[in-house]
Amino acid sequence: MAAGSVRTVHGELTVARERSNGVSAMGGTRALLERGEELARIAAAIADPGRVLVVEGEAGLGKSAVLDAGADLARAAGARVFIARGGLLERDFGYGVARQLFERPLRAAGVARRRRWLSGAAGLAAPVLGLEAACDAGAMEDPAFAAQHGLYWLASNCRGPGSDRTLD
């Protein structure tokens, strides 16, 4: 892919940059420079729930700043935004990113909402999130599959009826 290009592939959004980060500090706020195309693609993904957003590039190119701006766009559109960042520590920590993604919203949610989010198959995700399991996922034939299945349904339940519009 060419440096600084943005393209959509089979419903997946890819944003790749291989140039300076384009971020400058101005009066305590961060302004993104030369990121209009990337932000437009993010805004399009927000407007069309179900799209996948992939941002890739070398360290220091401004990916985090673009994603932070995208999260602000999503919040302004009324979406609930869950955030996790993969790093070296998560490499050896199974489900570390998933735990980052869901831990804060689950703890902040009221009891009724948390119960709704973890209902049904989503309860299979509880053990990998450090929560009390409603059923014993370890007794299943494939506990890793059970955890992944539970995380899928947790994400779905967070977005389901009675939830705010969710971007996860």
Q: Per-residue pLDDT tens for 1-27?
A: 334 434 433 333 333 333 344 433 333
> Tokens at residue 128, please?
């990998």
Find the angle CA(57)-CA(62)-CA(43) to the nearest 5 degrees: 90
Based on the domain organization, do 96 and 35 belong to the same domain?
Answer: no
- Exposed e or buried b for every residue in 85-108, given b needs 16+ CB within 10 A? eeeeebeeeebbebbbbbeebbee
Same domain, 101 and 160: yes
pLDDT at site 83: 87
Residues 69 and 95 in one domain: no
Q: Do 103 and 143 belong to one domain?
A: yes
Query: Of the residues 77, 96, 128, which one is the last residue of a structural domain?
Result: 77
pLDDT (0 to 100) of residue 4: 41
pLDDT at res. 28: 33
Q: Clarify whether residues 156 and 98 are in a common domain.
A: yes
Residue 147 Cα to chain centre, angstroms:
17
94, 152: one domain: yes
Phi and psi at 48, nearest 5°, equal -125, 75
Domain closes at, from 27, 56, 77: 77
92 and 163 in a common domain: yes
Show the low-confidence residues of the chain (pLDDT under 50): 1-29, 162-168
User: Could you tell me if residue 83 is inside a domain?
Assistant: no
Is residue 145, in this structure, part of any structural domain at all? yes
Q: Output the pLDDT for position 121.
A: 92
Q: What is the pLDDT of residue 165?
A: 44
Domains contained in the chain, number: 2
pLDDT at res. 137: 53
pTM: 0.65
Residue where one domain finishes, among candidates 18, 44, 77? 77
- Within 10 Å of residue 126's Cβ, how many Cβ atoms? 19
> Are residues 122 and 153 in contact, defined by beta-carbon separation less than 8 angstroms?
yes
Domain that holds residue 34: 6-77
Query: Domain check: are 64 and 107 in the same one?
Result: no
